[in-house]
Structure 1
């Protein structure tokens, strides 16, 4: 399945741009360009995976040395490591089908007969893009600080007690040669890897967010259509050149039910794709953030500020993920409320019965899952922060 084109108000237009730079977007290039594009992704991703392996090796070595050395790099290492799975998911056929489904459905929405539907969609789209700009600006600032911090340290000409210059690196990673002796090579390798690491961590996350906001927008449109059923059904009949009869209203209601079912299936598909990575994030985020806080307590100056930006960015992506999960959960329940707020008691008996079936289905809200652990809701986010406090207390007591 391939998209026929892009609407003028493409919901994932920002995502398409930065995902294409990473080689992750399902492009429709000519055969030669597509081959080169695929080759670019495979080479860059292989480079990144090898770098992540060196980070894990270095983390294992540091764990044997001291807690401080381990904590100094494990936060970023865990973030980079989970991106290997995130990239694999985005490149999967199921996720590509989700992208194509959204593209196709968007074209129908932007050609809608109801300006209110288009406005609800555009409002959701604007919110998503504003957040992406804010998030990506924040992330790029943090990445710049991270990459320039070693350079600033070099300018300051820091020396150890033996008189030999000890060079600072961007992140912790293992090399089969002396880092100080071949510092320019080490810095270049890490700089390139961190560019892709930053992109994989935050750009893929921002892309996930745009899909979640799309789902929230669809649920808001469904609520609007049910709440204003009388008006919207008459608009539907006028556009389709149908007589204002009970059968025409039934036809419109069936289209709404189908729209609701498509939204449910979309959430199920997103769940299938993301439940593993959400479970992994849920499991390691608390430990990752606890180690970052521990490191912040032992740093000062520019290095502390650079790490603090990474800490804030990680918290922002967690909060937005679980807030959107919460929105999807409650917006799906609002469908039943929207029907009750309409003038449903004036509808023909058959329509009322069909509406009751929708109300019953809406009592079972759609939700994103954290694997078998629960749902993506704010209550789960609070559990993560409780675990951060517990980890931090344990580490400080051990120290």
Structure 2
């Protein structure tokens, strides 16, 4: 390999540490298989109080609210996201070992960049995705802050909570039960927003990593001859045509090996997150339909309308990110065979040209990610989600008018 490398090793797993620490705090991930007894007890209590109990209380509230369409949809708007969050958390908790293996694969030697330019390709993609995810998380937390403040600013005399859980026996409209319930619901709301966004960060950054690696493979293929010449010079060997052709063949084989490793990584990512990808699409599809219906009924620029605008933007950002990165993976991996053909191969030996032909055939199959192993993650799927949400919105409006 070309040792025009940056001096230090690129440790990709370092980019995941802030998100994994957050998930560890909220008991959705642990860095080591065997955790202490104290942490296990903490995890059981935390998951019960902040994931399972809220989901159960909101489920009962939903079952009791199906008397009027507007009231039911207002409840479902929050419940759908809560229910999807619970399923995502369970999925990650049950697949901790697989996630640990996936993160370790990021630092394999075969994924190390050849030079500073390729290092910047990979690092740039990951940092861009982290920046978008940070804004997305901030938007989600701000949206839930608006949700927490809404009962204090609108119809305060009704003494509603931010989420309006169902509570057995206790009358939460009287003090101090009201204050305790309000504080609990506010904590659940902010925790839910923060953790929900971080749960989706792992797969998004992995997708950005794949795109960066595809960039580096494309760069190596296009500049294969110049890289081979530099490698021969670094080794101090005579810069003969034969030596260059031998080195070109070595680099070509390394590109194929990296592509195969990257395809295995993408398959592992898809196995772990294929259900989560579907939950993201389903969550956004239903939430967008409910939001559009509620926004059509709300007074313009009141507090509830502003909350729904931010909620709508957060949902659109999430579903767009997944499908955008999925589409980029298809596009980049689908163009690698063109990059291989574009290299300076005329004049090379027949043996090299045969290897190049096999490489081009191998690279013609693009890498794809799926939701539920069926729905392809691409921009067409994004458009389909928006169209389906609009259809549900029209149906709800028709039912309401009738």
* TM-score interval (norm. to shorter): 0.7 to 0.9
Distance 2:216 2:353 in 1: 20
Give the equivalent residue in structure 2 for 1:144: 145
Conserved in 1, the CA contact under 8 Å of 2:290 and 2:393? yes
Q: CA deviation at 1:56?
A: 1.7
Report what 1:229 is aligned to: 224
Q: Secondary structure at the match of 2:11?
A: coil
Aligned-residue RMSD, C-alpha:
2.5
Tell me, yes or no, if structure 1 residue 188 matches structure 2 residue 180: no
Does the 8 Å contact 2:229/2:244 carry over to 1? Answer: no
Instruction: Measure the CA separation in 2 of the matches of 1:237 and 1:267.
Output: 33
Question: How far did residue 392 of structure 1 move?
Answer: 0.9
Deviations 1:144-174 (A, max 9, x none): 2121222334xxx644xxxxxx212111421
| Match among 85, 96, 104 for residue 100 of structure 1 | 104
Cα displacement (A) at 1:333: 0.8
What residue is the counterpart of 1:171 in the other structure? Answer: 163
Q: Matches of residues 70-219 of structure 1 in structure 2 within 5 Å?
A: 70-91=72-93, 92=95, 93-104=97-108, 109=112, 112-153=113-154, 158-159=156-157, 166-176=158-168, 177-181=170-174, 182-219=177-214
Between the aligned partners of 2:15 and 2:232, the Cα distance in structure 1 is 28
Q: C-alpha displacement at 1:257, in angstroms?
A: 1.0
- The TM-score, its normalising length taken from structure 1, stands at 0.87
User: How big is the shift at 1:245?
Assistant: 5.0
- Cα shift at 1:218: 1.0
Q: Residue 284 of structure 2 contacts residue 316 of structure 2 at CA under 8 Å; is this kept in 1?
A: no
Deviations 1:337-390 (A, max 9, x none): 111221122332222222222221222111011225331111111111111111
- Tell me the equivalent position of 1:163: none
CA distance in 1, matches of 2:254, 2:30: 30
Structure 1 residue 280: Cα displacement? 3.1
* Change in 2 beyond 3 A, CA 1:305/1:105: farther
Aligned-residue offset at 1:73: 2.1
Q: 2: CA distance between counterparts of 1:121 and 1:278?
A: 23
- Matched with 1:350 is 351
Secondary structure, in 3 states, of the residue corresponding to 2:333?
helix
The Cα of 1:9 is off from its aligned counterpart by 8.7
Q: How does 1:187-336 map to 2 (within 5 A)?
A: 187-237=182-232, 244=243, 246-300=245-299, 301-336=302-337
State the SS of the aligned residue for 1:12: helix
Give the match for residue 5 of structure 2. Answer: none
Partner of 2:121, secondary structure, is helix
CA distance in 1: counterparts of 2:13 and 2:282, whole angstroms = 37
Distance 1:104 1:34 in 2: 28
Q: Distance in 1 between matches of 2:391 and 2:366?
A: 32
SS in 1 for 2:65: helix
- In 2, Cα distance between equivalents of 1:369 and 1:113: 30
Instruction: Identify unmatched segments of 5+ residues in structure 1.
Output: 160-165
Instruction: Return 41-50 or 240-249, whichever deviates more.
Output: 240-249
Secondary structure of 2:335's match? helix
Work out the number of aligned pairs and report it: 380
Give the aligned partner of residue 59 of structure 1.
62
- Runs of 4+ residues deviating >6 angstroms: 240-243
Q: CA deviation at 1:188?
A: 1.9
State the SS of the aligned residue for 2:377.
coil
Q: Deviations over 1:130-150 (max 9, x none)?
A: 212221222222122121222
> Gaps spanning 5+ residues in structure 2: where?
1-8
TM-score by length of 2: 0.86
